């Protein structure tokens, strides 16, 4: 069965950096696009970024463009989110989600359990 396990969350100061990982199993990782979605405590869902199955195209929400970078390593079946210049408003649970298909215009079907990022001084 599909499993997505996020890790790397924690507490970081404003302006700091953090790298999240998402270990994928139960499907052919190299054939599917992947998303990151976040949710501030008590708030709604916010789409963050997407990477195509082969890593050739990436899309970002305006709120993170230029600060966050999505990447993937198909040899390790792992998705990453490098977060730089973190702001207090980036505090959220971060979920990785498997896309239904290979490209951006397919939705998400499976989700991880999330990892909490807290940006605070």
Partner 1 sequence: QTVVTQEPSFSVSPGGTVTLTCGLNSGSVSTNYFPSWYQQTPGQAPRTLIYSTNTRSSGVPDRFSGSILGNKAALTITGAQADDESDYYCVLCMSSGIWVFGGGTKLTVL
Which residue carries 């501030």 as its tokens?
40
- Residue 94: which of 104, 83, 103 has the closest Cα? 83
Q: According to the binding rule CB under 8 A, does residue 118 interact with partner 1?
A: no
Residues 109 and 100: beta-carbon distance below 8 Å: yes
Q: Which stretch binds partner 1 (CB under 8 A): 8-16, 54-62, 70-78, 84-92?
A: 54-62
Q: Which of 25, 45, 73, 85 binds partner 1 (CB under 8 A)?
A: 45
CA distance 106 to 103: 6
Minimum distance between the CB of residue 50 and partner 1, rounded to whole angstroms? 7
The residues of the shown chain that bind partner 1, judged by CB under 8 A, are: 35, 37, 44-47, 50, 57, 59, 61-62, 95, 100, 104-114
């Amino acid at each position: 069965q599909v499993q997505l396990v996020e890790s790397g969350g924690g507490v970081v100061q404003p302006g700091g950096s953090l790298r999240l990982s998402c270990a994928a199993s139960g499907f052919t990782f190299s054939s599917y696009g992947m998303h990151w979605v976040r949710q501030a405590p008590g708030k709604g869902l916010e789409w963050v970024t997407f990477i195509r199955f082969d890593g050739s195209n990436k899309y970002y929400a305006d709120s993170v463009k230029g600060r966050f970078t999505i990447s993937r390593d198909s040899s390790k079946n792992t998705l990453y989110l490098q977060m730089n210049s973190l702001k207090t408003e980036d505090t959220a649970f971060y979920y990785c989600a498997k896309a239904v298909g290979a490209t951006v215009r397919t939705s998400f079907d499976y989700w991880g359990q999330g990892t909490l990022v807290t940006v605070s001084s």
